Structures are given as structure tokens and as C-alpha cells.
Amino acid sequence: MRGAQQLAGSQPGSGQESTAPKSCEAPRAPRGKGPPDGKARQEPGPHRDDGTRQETGSRQETGSRQEVVVARAIRARGLVAGYPPARVAADIYEECASEFGTTWVRAYRLAHGIALADVVAQVKAWYESEGRPEPKFSETLLSAYESGMKRPGPEYLHFLCAVYRADPADLGLIGDCLCGQSHRQPAGAGWPAARAAADPVPIGPAAPGQPPSAGGPAPAGMPATAAGLGPGATAPVPPAQPGWPADPAENLLEDDDDLLRRTLLRLIAHPGSPVTGTFFGATDRIRRRMDDALLSGTVSATMLDQWEETVCGYGRQYGTVPPVRLLCDVLLDFGDVRRMCERRQSLEFSERLYRLAAQLAGLAGMIMIDAGDQRLARSFFRTARTAADETGDRHLRGWVTVRQALVPLYYGDPAEAMALAQASADLAGTGSCVAGVMARTVRARALSRLAARRSDAPPGRTAYRAMSLLGQAHDMLGQLTPADRGDTALGYTERQFLFHEGDAMIMLRKHSVAEKALARALNLYSPAEVLDRSLVALGLAHCRLQADEPEEALRLSRDMLLGLPREHRAEIVVREARSLCQTVAGQHGDFPAVREYEEALRTA
């Protein structure tokens, strides 16, 4: 009864707590109901560190004490009846939400009979079991989650779900866990009444190598007797969750290469299959391990020539192969290069390995831009810069930096993109190289976006600066080697330049110039280069909109989107298509073509 004693001892005036309020005996609504629409009730005011709500005035403090007393009484009845914590939490929420503003997150903690400090300790124990640094998770932050003042981030939400053995929806929060798996205890794993009555304080997830605690939660509405367990029976050890190791401490240590191979095979068999948070979690762990290898100072090389040829092949496949499938291939080789980097080798081979690592990380960052995950994109580009810095190659460092500039160009602040592009130009120097050409193009595009946002800026001067940068880039493009001019990822092609020139002209509202550049680009792109052709088509739709043809603009975009194979519908394309719809609706209002377009977007 240690957890119950902690809760009782933390309340002032505990001598009066032996008498439960009458509300404890009132009839209750049907059990086992979750929060409506996955939303938690907002609770006014923060909680104190001892688990009670911090209010002002003696009347409010008395109400807070009553909430704990009511919850304790409900939990005691649930223990006797053999209910799992999920069922007890539902009872507490039904009884206390309307009277005390109890949220689902708080109801789950009260159902477990533990204090804020116990939950914080369990979350930190999870971090420690995975060999990760201690988090800044605190009782104050957990209290803010319980009050509804803050929402847990993806990582903290994952570990709260692990502690409570519940899913985000069970805690009244919208969305899925980042691991992509359910944290609910499998059906049949009950909470025996005898064991629960003897030790009503569940300790959360079991320690590595130990069976899960019998006090762990079970699905709502599944008491021990319903699971075929009589009073005093011993609960069976629940099986592992599908797709997870049996040992909870190894949940995030699954072989990521095998996961990528399975994903690749699934995409080959079913090209439109969606990917879950588990896949992106494995993606980030692969990048982190590369960081560790790069900083370890020991490298080795095996079959470097074959890997360099493979990386060049990925550059040619970029834009033609579906993004997630290409990402699987890139990351599998990225993992092989990491393993080579873990052993010492000669200085010459070390430099080649670092170059491979920088190029593969840069490719992964580019694909993450297409997939719409700017956080992972930035992370991969940081890894690429770490590897490129080790080579001492200014052109490679410039290529990584200018590719990184595309993240804020599409998803953030154009001013940041301009700064990164200028840094890339400084690294590239005055000679002709891919980074030098791209840096000027990205600066022109960022400048045009800034001009579109600032209506007070002189349009003529901005247009002159942007066109001057594009002219310099065009001149430098002709001086690149044929190999660089033929590679859309590691190099820079004429069709890409025309596409980017058209994009800058759209932002400067020069739709006739933009339409000519985009039409030429579309003729140069092969039908297999699906990604860029889709973005060019969206650019042409924007030109029609600026020419005051909104219905034609929506038609062009809709035809492009519906004609796109599902596996090629990257987030960057869908995002631009949504943006076009919003612009049309903002300028011309709601009319039938807009509604038809919105329906097409939902279908896509």
C-alpha cells in the first residue's frame, strides 16, 4: 500500500480522509468509455508536486483533497473487483471530470495510485535502460500535462504511454505514438484481484529480463474474472507486442537494417503502402550511429569503388524512384559505410569514406525534404556537414550547405535560406562548381520569396537582383563538366535551372517569363522524372492563376495530382497543391471548382 500511503500523506488534513464523500457511492455511467474524439478535458490551473491541484482559497484546496479521496475510493473498489488500471482510470474520469476537471492523463496516474515523482522516476528509468542521457522531465512539466496547459511532445508522450501502458487516445491526446505501436497490454493479460489487493501500486514497465508486473494495465473492460482468472489466480505473462522485442528495454534497439529491408520489400510488393513512425525512428537512429562513428576517429574502407559508383547511381535515380523506396536503399548503404567508419584505415581511404558519408547523408536529407519531414532533413544535413568537414573539400562542403538551404526555402524562413546559400557560395569560391551555381539560384529564389512577403520592398530593385543572380548561375552552369550537368542530385542540370528560374519569376509575379521557363523545363524532363515534373506542373498552374484563370489553374493541378502514382505523391507535392487551393480560395472565394479540387485533394 506504499503508493496509496504516499498520496494520503501528501494531503493536508489527512485525518478527515477516512470518510469518503457521498459522490463515491453515486450511480455511475457505463464503464470503459474513452475520451470523446480523442480530446482531453482542459483542467484549470497547475498541480502541486505532491500530485494535488494548486488552487487559491481553502474551498478550492478542499475540493482538490476530495478529488484524491474520490479517486482513492474508486481505485480501492477496482482493486477488489480485479479491474485493470485502464478500467479504473475510466471510472475515475467519469466520476471526477465534471466535478474536479480531472483529465485523462491525471486519471491514469490516480488509477495507478502513484505520485508525480513516481511517474518522473519511471520515465527516467526508461531513458536509462536505453542508454540515453537523463531527460529534463520533471514533476512540474507532468503537472502541466495533467492540467491541460501543455501537451507532451512526441518523445515524452511515448514514454508516458509506456509507463501507463496506454495509447495516446487513452490519455485523451490526438495522434499516434512515434513508435507506431500500441502500448496497451494484450487481451488476456488480466490484473488478478488477490495480487492487486496485496500490492496495489504497479511499478510500470518490467525491468529487462523480468516478466511484466501483474499490476500493469490491461485493456479497458477486461478484469481478471473476464479473462478466465479466478480470485487469487496467477496472471500469465503477456506476449510481446507485435513488431516489438519481448524485452521492453530493447523496444528501440531492433535491427534497423532489417526493418529497412522489410519496408523495401513491402514497397516493392505494394508501392502505395504507408510508412509508420517506427520507420522514421529507425531512420534517425541510423543517422545518429553514423554521427557516433564519425566522431570516434577510427575508420576503415572496403570496396570503396563500388560504393562510389552506387552513390552516383542514387544521384541519377533521385526524382525517378519513389522517395521512401530510394531512402531505404540509401540508408542501407549508409549503414554499411558507418560500419566501415568504425575501424581505422589509411588517411586516403578515410577521406573517401567521409565523402561517401557526406553524400549519402545529403541524399537522405534531400529525400526527407520531399517527404515533408524538415526535422529529419535538418538532422541529416548536419551529419553530412560533419562528414564533409572531415574531407577538407570546400566544394563538397558547399554542396551540402546549399542543399541544406532548401529546407528553410520550402518549410521555413527565406532569410535563413539566403544566409545558407551565401555560406555555400563562400565555400565554393570563384571557380565553377555545382555549389556555386546552386548557391546563386537558391539566393535568387529566396530573394523573390522575401519580396513576395514584403509588399513595401521596391519590386524593380528586387527583380533586378534576382535576375542578376540567375544570369550569373546560367553562365556558371555552362562551365560545369558534362557529368555534373547530367546529375540531378549530386550535380545540377539545365532543366533544374529552368524550373528554379520559373519559380523565382512566379514569386516576382512575372508569370509570362515564368511560364516560358517552366514550359522549356517540362520539355527537357523525361517522363520518368516524376517529382520535378509534378512541381513544374504546379508552377504552370500558378502562372495561370496570376493570369486570372483560377479554374484553369485548379484543373492543371488536379490533373497532375490524380495522374500521379500513389507512391510518388510526396508530401512536398501535396503541400504545394494545398497551397494553390488556399491561394485561389483567398483571391476568388469559394466556388464549385474549389470544392471539386478540395475533394480531389482528399482523395489523393
**Per this entry, what is the length of the chain?**
604
Confidence label for 277 from pLDDT (cuts 50, 70 and 90): confident
Instruction: Quote the distance between the C-alpha of residue 339 and its chain's center.
Output: 26
pLDDT score at 458? 53
What is the 3-state secondary structure of 379-394?
HHHHHHHHHHHHHCCH
Residue 39 has pLDDT above 50, yes or no: no
Helices (H), 393-433: 394-404, 406-411, 414-428
Task: Tell whether the model's pLDDT for residue 401 goes beyond 60.
Answer: yes
- Residue 38 gets the label, from left (phi > 0), alpha (psi -120 to 50) or beta, of left
Query: Do residues 488 and 521 lie in contact, with contact meaning Cβ atoms separated by under 8 Å?
Result: no
| Residues 175-193 pLDDT 10s | 778 777 888 876 544 444 3
Q: Could you tell me the end-to-end alpha-carbon distance of the chain, in angstroms, rounded to an integer? A: 55
Window from 56-65, 365-374, 398-407 with minimum mean pLDDT:
56-65
- In angstroms, the CA 571 to CA 591 distance is 26
Q: Which three cell numbers stand for residue 88?
A: 479504473
Give φ, ψ of 71 to 5 degrees: -65, -40
Question: Kindly report the CA angle at 185 between 184 and 191, in degrees rounded to 5?
Answer: 130
Q: Let me know: does 343 contact 298? Beta carbons within 8 Å.
A: yes
Q: What are the residue boundaries of the structural domains of the chain, listed by start?
A: 2-231, 255-392, 413-525, 535-604
CB atoms within 10 A of CB 46: 16
Among candidates 235, 253, 257, which has minimal Cα distance to 244? 253
Q: Are 374 and 338 in contact (CB under 8 A)?
A: no
Q: What tens digit of pLDDT does each residue of 416-471 get?
A: 999 999 999 999 988 889 999 999 999 999 999 988 887 655 567 888 899 999 99
Cα(44)–Cα(147) distance, integer angstroms: 6
All three cell numbers of 581: 487551393
Look at residue 274 and give its three-state secondary structure.
coil
Q: Is residue 309 within a helix (H) or strand (E), and if so which, with residue range? A: helix 304-317
In the chain, pLDDT over 90 holds for what percent of residues?
Answer: 34
577 phi, psi to nearest 5 deg = -65, -40
Cell numbers at residue 129, please?
A: 535502460
Q: CB–CB of 234/228 below 8 Å?
A: no
> Minimum mean pLDDT among 139-153, 279-293, 433-447: which range?
279-293
Q: What is the pLDDT of residues 513-543, one digit of tens each?
A: 999 999 999 999 999 999 999 999 999 999 9
Grid coordinates standing for 58? 481553502
| Residues 270, 274, 276, 282, CA torsion sign | positive
CATH architecture observed for domain 413-525:
Alpha Horseshoe (1.25)
Which set of grid coordinates corresponds to residue 455?
Answer: 509588399
Where b means 16+ CB within 10 Å and e means fewer, 72-105 reads bbbbbebbebbbbbbbbbbbbbbbbbeebbbbbb
pTM, entire model: 0.54
Query: Three-state DSSP class for 29?
Result: coil
